[in-house]
Amino acid sequence: MFQPYLRNKQVLYCPSFNEQVLVQNAAHPNCDGPDILPWFPAFYYYSHYGLAHSAIFGACTPSFPRNAFPGNSPNFDPPVRKLASVRRPAETAILQDNFTAMINERAFGIPYVIGTAFGCECGWEGVGQSRHHMGCNYIFLDGHAKLISGNVERHPTIPCPNAINPATGSPEPNCVCAAYTTYDY
């Protein structure tokens, strides 16, 4: 994406990164839970930033809102999302303080798996710590950046009537979506 403009790889690494805090936040029940623990310690960090992938999850409720990340599958499996499909580019995050790494092979039983995270892992709600002023830096699709406190997978929320509920596979008349991590509403 920005490789031609990169003169120094250090721009990919955050001096405030702490793997122990990342793991504690990620393993918190309000985030990925203990299933993420086998990913760590990571073998190699490619960056201390996470790019939104293609995940769609949630239950359309205020306590577990629908999320539809604006990115693509790491393998670019169809359908490939295009910028024109994003309804609110100025309110849709694509990059955040997180990680992209060669994860521990214990996670999947095979070596050399690249893992990335986008969402709750950098938030301070997990263990009360984060990299930056109790928040996380996000870059939005219109190019602006913003420091946000809290778990963007849970709040703030927006109404997204008749969105497909990932938990049921059916349209939900009163669906609630996460504001910054839902590209299609």
Kindly give, in sequence order, each residue whose CB lies less than 8 Å from that of residue 169, ignoring residues fewer than 6 positions away. Answer: none
Structurally, the chain folds into a number of domains equal to 1
Q: What is the pLDDT of residue 1?
A: 54
C-alpha distances in Å from residue 4, one per residue of 7, 8, 34, 97, 137: 8, 11, 38, 21, 23
DSSP 10-77: GGGS-TT--HHHHHHHHTSTTTT-GGGGGG-S-SEEEEEEEE--S-EE--SSSSS-EEE-SS--TT-P
Instruction: Name the CA dihedral angle for 120, 125, 129, 132, rounded to a multiple of 10 degrees.
Output: 60
Residue 125, both tokens:
């709600």
Helix (H, G, I), strand (E, B) or coil at 84: helix
pLDDT tens track, the chain, 185 positions:
566 777 888 888 998 899 988 898 888 888 888 998 999 999 999 999 999 989 999 999 999 999 999 998 877 677 788 899 999 999 999 999 999 999 887 777 887 888 888 888 886 666 667 777 778 899 999 999 999 888 889 889 999 999 999 999 999 999 999 999 999 99
The alpha carbon dihedral of 82, 83, 89, 95 has a sign of positive
How much is the pTM?
0.86
**Contact between residue 172 and residue 59 where contact means Cβ atoms under 8 Å apart:** no
- Residue 115: which domain range? 3-182
Burial 99-134 (b: 16+ CB within 10 A, else e): bbbebbeebeeeeeeebbbbbbbbbbbbbeebbeee
User: What is the spatial distance between Cα 157 and Cα 99, in angstroms, rounded to a whole number?
Assistant: 25
What residues does 114 pair with on adjacent strands?
102
Helix (H, G, I), strand (E, B) or coil at 171: strand
**Contact between residue 72 and residue 54 where contact means Cβ atoms under 8 Å apart:** yes
